[in-house]
Amino acid sequence: MERSFSCPTCGKCCYGQLPLAIDDTLAHADRFPLVVMWTPVRQGGRSFDITAELGITIKLRKRKLAAVQISPCAYLPPTLPCPELTADGLCGIHATKPLRCRTMPFSAYRDEADQADLLIPRSEWMCDTSPDAPVVYRDKSILDRQNYDAERAQLVRDAAILKPYGEWLLDSVPSLRMEIQKVAMKPSGGQVIVSFSTLIPRLAKVDIYAFARNQLPIMTAYAKKTANDPTLTDFHKRYADMAGEWGKIGGN
Amino acid sequence: MTECPCGSGSAFEQCCGPFLEGAPAPTPEALMRSRFTAFVRGDLDHIENTHASDVKDGFNRSAAESTANSVEWVSLEILNTAEGGTNDDAGTVEFAARFRQNGELMVHHERSNFRREEGRWAYVDGKMNPKGEPRRVEKVGRNEPCPCGSGKKYKKCCAA
């Protein structure tokens, strides 16, 4: 089976949360409000195996398991665009944009054979998937696979850091384990947001003070941007908390 | 006399002091105590220098320093030690380090692994909040001697 796709640069997919490879978080620490996102996938759920391979597993009740994707992430509400999306719908940092953006519409968080539904445009997206568009996916294979392969290779390298980090944080903070178990049991699923500062000790070369100085103004700006929107109260509170945390670290 | 921050009751100069100066610690416990003392005193050099060779590269000094500066250390309690003798090349120390952060009393409970490298003990890694050995319940047969030590059969003694 063949699937066609062409991007008309409508910019609609440049909204909301954006998972990032570790190197991309470091390269863009002065740009995105960063968190670590923990997303459980229950056994039998879609992409359980690949999620367990790139992340960790956690025990649930009744001898069930959940795989947990641990992703450094640009933390944005679905209604807010990427800070680099320009007025004409193009990317302001095209030459240095994150791997996640380059691989679109495919995703290296999924197996290659499991990409078909990613080619269905979400509502309001203007992707051209008509037969006139070039074929991009044939018999469950990605035809131009350079970006997909690069992103997958990066995710595998990151897993060597994120897996031990995940086990360590779960042991250190028992309430986090309970929170993830709770989210995993919910039929609608969900995510648990953890401060990026918990990951820094695992990134040997990162200067936490410089990182804090980068993140503080961004968190402060997003706290302000979300202050008066009642639908974004959770986001606002989170930005404000993280601004406080980075401020404290940077002030040392 | 300045009492050693590790809580041994000895003077700093007679306790962790020499190890912070670079003297080799005789046991994993002594090294662990000196690393706690180093955290209290903000001596990140000692922390870095006492890491095993394969974990040195993964150590984020700025993050460790930032944490050390953000907490007020309260006490150290050694809960358990295993191996780490003169003939051992590995050893573990389980400890509880109490500290105050943002006004809240917290505890860092870890079982640390140490390894001897070129004659000196070095910190390898640790398990946070380790679980104790699972409790085992042994079943006593009715005809076996009673565990109370009376010499009678269990069924004629405590089981009755």
At B23 the three-state DSSP class reads coil
- Looking at the structure of chain B, the number of domains it has is 1
Low-confidence ranges of chain A (pLDDT < 50): 252
Contact predicate A8/A217, CB 8 Å: no
* Chain A positions in Cβ-Cβ contact with residue B64 (cut-off 8 Å): 201
* Chain B positions in Cβ-Cβ contact with residue A249 (cut-off 8 Å): 66, 70
When computed from its CA atoms, the radius of gyration of chain A, rounded to whole angstroms, is 19
The answer to whether the CB atoms of A206 and B60 lie below 8 A apart is yes
**B148 contacts chain A (CB < 8 A):** no
Cα gap B100→B98, rounded to integer Å: 7
User: What ipTM goes with this model?
Assistant: 0.79
Cα gap A139→A143, rounded to integer Å: 10
CB pairs under 8 A between A and B: 37
Compute the mean pLDDT over every residue in chain B, rounded to the nearest whole number. 89
At A86 the three-state DSSP class reads coil
The answer to whether the CB atoms of A204 and B59 lie below 8 A apart is yes
pLDDT in tens, B15-40: 998 999 989 989 999 999 999 999 99
pLDDT in tens, B67-106: 888 899 999 999 988 897 888 889 999 999 999 988 889 9
pLDDT in tens, A8-25: 888 999 999 999 999 999
At residue B140, the pLDDT reads: 83
Cα gap A221→B62, rounded to integer Å: 26
Contact predicate B120/B53, CB 8 Å: no
Amino acid (one-letter) located at A136: V
Strand partners, B73: B99
A155-184 as b/e, with b when 16 or more CB fall inside 10 Å?
beebbebbbebbebbbbeeeebeebbbebb
Q: What CATH code is carried by the domain that includes residue B49?
A: 3.10.450.50
Q: What distance in Å separates residue A102's CA from the closest CA in chain B?
A: 29
The answer to whether the CB atoms of A171 and B69 lie below 8 A apart is no
Q: What distance in Å separates residue A220's CA from the closest CA in chain B?
A: 21
Q: What distance in Å separates residue B109's CA from the closest CA in chain A?
A: 8
The answer to whether the CB atoms of A200 and B60 lie below 8 A apart is yes
Domain limits at B47?
Answer: 12-132
Q: Is residue B141 part of a domain?
A: no
At residue A252, the pLDDT reads: 45
The answer to whether the CB atoms of B64 and A201 lie below 8 A apart is yes
Q: Is residue B1 part of a domain?
A: no
At residue B134, the pLDDT reads: 65
Q: Does the pLDDT value for residue B56 go beyond 90?
A: no
At residue A137, the pLDDT reads: 93
**A171 contacts chain B (CB < 8 A):** yes
- Which among A15, A32, A121, A125 has a CA at the least distance from the CA of A78? A15
At A158 the three-state DSSP class reads helix
At residue A85, the pLDDT reads: 95
The answer to whether the CB atoms of B67 and A174 lie below 8 A apart is no
**A209 contacts chain B (CB < 8 A):** yes
The answer to whether the CB atoms of A206 and B128 lie below 8 A apart is no
pLDDT in tens, B95-132: 999 999 888 899 999 999 999 998 899 999 999 998 87
Q: Is residue B76 part of a domain?
A: yes
Q: What distance in Å separates residue A162's CA from the closest CA in chain B?
A: 13
- Domain-by-domain residue ranges, chain A? 2-206
The answer to whether the CB atoms of A206 and B70 lie below 8 A apart is no
